[in-house]
Amino acid sequence: MGLKIGKVTGQYNRWRYTEDLSYAGYSTVNLTKTPANTVTIYDGITPITLGQISSTNYYGSVTTNLSGLGLQPFVIGKKYFVSGYVKNDADVERWFWPRYVGAGANAHGSCYMSITPRRYWTLLTATATNLPQPYWFFNGNGAINNATVTAYIGGFQIELVPDDTKIGVSVMGDSTVAGSSGKKDAENSVEWTRWAEGWLNVPFYNRGVGGNTTQQMIDRWAADMTPLAGDPYYVKYTIIQGGINDLPTQTAEQIVTNLTTMRDLAIADGTIPVMCTISPCNKTGDEETVRNQANALIRSNFNLVIDLDLILKDPANPNQLHPDWVGDGTHFTALGKKAIGQYIANSGIMSFLQPSPYQKLATSPFSQYTDVSYKLSLSNSITL
């Protein structure tokens, strides 16, 4: 994916204290456990099967009540990566959440799964609330489509990470960030921020507001952005997108001055600013001239830039969106949103600490469950 991987040194898999739990130690909701099978999803991890129970808005979960088993892998106040592996049995893309860890009831930030096995993780600060029962898997309304799949999860690992670890991304912008649905951070959002967070496996906090000028973004910064810079959001980077709604009245220099103000606000919050160029929006004449001038200044004046103009433009008509993603001329289609998310995930512009390599443990008396793995059958009738 083009990610820069930070190495966790001097740490170890704290899950070894609980990885030998018996089958009864893992609770499920709307999923029925069945005996182990022979599927291997990664490095010898062999799942246990969970049969399907369907509902209109599918909800299923796998959880472990650590306190009820007299186990204590956490130290309250310390930060941990809680990780595992996941794959589908079919070539279908879906999102899911590890619940009750991280910020918000559903552990804000989706994880992405498809037919290819991949690692997923979330950042947790151990508190008296989340200490007893992390959810390894939570599937709500967040399907990319309504296909039914069987998913395999396992290889759970808990490891201590440095106290200053941050993996969140806050996003300031206009309607091309917020999207037409207004769902933004909702579980059934399919904005480009959801695609980016799913592939990067870090939470994105979407604070786009339709119709906003760059000055309006500055005016609401203290309320919408600054609070995200502290715990429990763990924001490391701030993406700043703006300028489309300034084109009728502002010069390129005025737009970039406002973007610079927001860059400085992000730095003052303790986050790393990432600027965006102004995407094609079917402008002509003076407005298109201002857009191109502003983009040239953005590329030359800022260190980290997501070049939305380059990603989205029609090579034959650079003032317009790519014909496959054109939408209404300013707002792009679902495929355009996916393209932005994939570009951000592949670009290497942002780097985050990742879990250390999975540490497979020796066979125990509960050898069938040593790798603590499950097979889940999932369905969702929501079509997005």
- pLDDT tens-digit readout, 308-365: 999 999 999 999 999 998 888 999 898 899 999 999 999 999 999 998 887 665 444 3
37 contacts: CB under 8 Å, gap ≥ 6 = 46, 47, 48, 49, 375
CA distance 143 to 93: 8
Positions in the chain whose pLDDT score sits under 70: 1-27, 30-60, 64-74, 99-108, 128-149, 181, 359-384
pLDDT at 30: 66
Query: What would the two tokens of residue 182 be?
Result: 């207004």
pLDDT at 369: 35
Q: Cis (ω within 30 of 0) for the bond into 73? A: no
Q: Please name the helix (run of DSSP H) or strand (run of DSSP E) that holds residue 28, with its range, or none.
A: strand 26-29
- The whole-model pTM stands at 0.85
pLDDT at 175: 94
Torsion, CA 71, CA 74, CA 77, CA 81, rounded to 10: -150
Residue type, 60: G
pLDDT at 234: 87
pLDDT at 319: 95
**CB-based contact 271:238 (threshold 8 Å):** yes
Q: Which residue has the tokens 């004449």?
A: 285
How many angstroms separate the first and last alpha carbons of the chain?
A: 25
pLDDT at 262: 98
pLDDT at 156: 73
Query: What would the two tokens of residue 124 be?
Result: 């947790």
pLDDT tens-digit map of 255-289: 999 999 999 999 999 999 999 999 999 999 999 99
Q: Minimal CA–CA distance to 146: which of 76, 271, 56?
A: 56
pLDDT at 230: 86
